[in-house]
């Protein structure tokens, strides 16, 4: 199926690993050019070379921290300079948390607010004008099932991801008149490097069987009985980027293996 993405320019934050890199690869396989944003120069450079050499598209790696105003400005100006702007923005950068509400300091709350919410706000302000110039575009927010079904140990993550979903809905209503479609995705358990790292840490003192630990987590939480691969999530994102999803506006999609326990 031709998704009509050839020669589109897609910006992916958190693009050097995990779901972000998988989305970049899937978009590149469709012929889209990609701008990969990440904080670590070596990793984003490796991702850039991987995508461009494997798929024969133009790829740009941008070292920046989108949790900051300066990082957002760097990313927006880089896309403008190298490609003349962007057609697609994937807000994927983020990370889990671990705290209690009573013990978490203000600066931790503010950091997660910046990375999960204000990054999306600032990037919208930066890229929507570029999309208008190109006749429209797509913005997707990688949120989490925790936006609707919280996990007890990460209240800051839960709250900020819920706010991201609400921002996505409001932005969708505001920019659809410019032919810019905005949606959010709430993934469930996805086997990312962060999950693998956590599993290895938690099993280090009992044999290091991290794969068995992940199986236990999946069995407990997801009726499908396993974690998703990053590529499975990426396929859904790429579909939403395409004109095949042209009537999808302001929605939030659960891709969670049945993990959500409500309607």
Between the CA of residue 175 and those of 108, 181, 195, what are the distances in Å?
Answer: 31, 7, 35
Residues 257, 37, 27, 3, CA torsion sign = positive
- In the set 111, 112, 157, 247, the catalytic residue is 157
Cβ within 8 Å of residue 125, ≥6 positions away: none
| 188, 255 contact by CB (below 8 A) | yes
Using CB atoms within 10 Å of the CB of residue 16, give its burial: 0 to 12 exposed, 13 to 18 middle, 19+ buried. Answer: buried
Helix (H) or strand (E) holding 185: strand 180-187
Residue 157 catalytic?
yes
C-alpha 141/C-alpha 201 separation (Å) is 29
Between the CA of residue 248 and those of 27, 157, 176, 236, what are the distances in Å?
Answer: 19, 26, 11, 13
Which residues belong to the active site? Answer: 157
């Amino acid at each position: 199926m031709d998704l009509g993405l050839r020669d589109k320019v897609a910006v992916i934050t958190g693009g050097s690993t995990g779901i972000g890199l998988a989305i970049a690869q899937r978009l590149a396989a469709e012929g889209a050019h990609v701008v990969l944003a990440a904080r670590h120069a070596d990793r984003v450079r490796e991702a850039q070379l991987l995508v461009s050499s494997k798929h024969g598209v133009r790829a740009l790696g941008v070292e920046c921290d989108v949790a900051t105003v300066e990082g957002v400005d760097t990313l927006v100006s880089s896309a403008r300079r190298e490609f003349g702007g962007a057609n697609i923005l994937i807000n994927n950068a983020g990370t889990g948390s671990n705290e209690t509400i009573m013990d978490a300091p203000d600066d931790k709350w503010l950091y997660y607010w910046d990375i999960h919410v204000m990054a999306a706000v600032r990037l919208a302000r930066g890229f929507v004008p570029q999309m208008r110039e190109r006749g429209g575009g797509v913005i997707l927010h990688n949120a989490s099932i925790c936006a609707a079904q919280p996990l007890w140990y990460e209240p800051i993550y839960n709250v900020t991801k819920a706010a991201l979903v609400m921002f996505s809905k409001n932005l969708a209503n505001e920019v659809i008149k410019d032919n810019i479609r905005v949606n959010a995705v709430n993934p469930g358990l996805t086997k990312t490097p962060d999950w693998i790292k956590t599993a290895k840490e938690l099993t280090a003192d009992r044999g290091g069987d991290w794969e068995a630990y992940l199986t236990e987590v999946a069995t407990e939480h997801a009726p499908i009985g396993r974690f998703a691969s990053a590529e499975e999530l990426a396929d859904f994102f790429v579909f939403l980027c395409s004109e095949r999803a042209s009537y999808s506006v302001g929605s939030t999609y659960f891709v969670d293996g049945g993990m959500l326990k409500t309607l």
